[in-house]
Chains A and B, each alone.
Chain A
């Protein structure tokens, strides 16, 4: 079946350093979504990418969708302690059914002040 692989599983950074998490799908996706889960909390939607090669920015966060629509990345510039949490990508297969939204296992980010 379809898999969405996310790396790294863990990332420890010093405050002010950059951070990147990568997401790769075994199949072409119709779109990809990114979520953030704070410790003890629930996943919260960040953004959705739909177009091939799309790049979107939210303040210090930059999201990219690959040209082949099989990979994506989230880059955080100059991390802050408020960025701590687990970041998940979720790939949507064509057809758009709820059952076709596959989550990666997440990247857990810790930031040392």
Chain B
């Protein structure tokens, strides 16, 4: 199993550009989440999903959209990137919302 995969690994955007961060898991986990990690701030939940077709907001959802059309995929969309969205983004999946399996992360720089 590949576990949780994320693409791209690195991305540079200009302010106002849009992009989608991809996340996929092959463990048949119902729960998937997106976190952002900033220095000194730990991991903050952006959006999460408890199953296909169901999404909900986390602690810091503004500026991000998600959808969950399949169990495997949970893309994160930045509609109009801002410098404040410069961060490392981690996708995670879990069985029943318990142990989180994290992907390798996407490092995003917004200029």
The interface of chain A, by Cβ under 8 A from chain B, is 6, 9, 31, 33, 35, 41-45, 48, 88, 90, 92, 96-101, 103-106
Does B79 touch A at the CB level, under 8 Å?
no
- Closest residue of chain A to B32 (Cβ to Cβ) is A98
Chain B residue total in the interface (Cβ 8 A): 27
Does B2 touch A at the CB level, under 8 Å?
no
- Closest residue of chain A to B4 (Cβ to Cβ) is A42
A-B pairs under 8 A by CB, number: 61
Pairwise interchain contact A98-B94, C-beta atoms closer than 8 A: yes
Contacts of A104 in B (CB 8 A): 42
Q: Is the interface of B mostly helix, strand, loop or mixed?
A: strand
What's the minimum C-beta distance from A40 to chain B, rounded to whole angstroms? 9
A43 to B94, alpha carbons, bound, how many Å?
13
Does B100 touch A at the CB level, under 8 Å?
yes
Pairwise interchain contact A44-B102, C-beta atoms closer than 8 A: yes
Contacts of A105 in B (CB 8 A): 40-42
What's the minimum C-beta distance from B61 to chain A, rounded to whole angstroms? 11
Pairwise interchain contact B99-A45, C-beta atoms closer than 8 A: yes
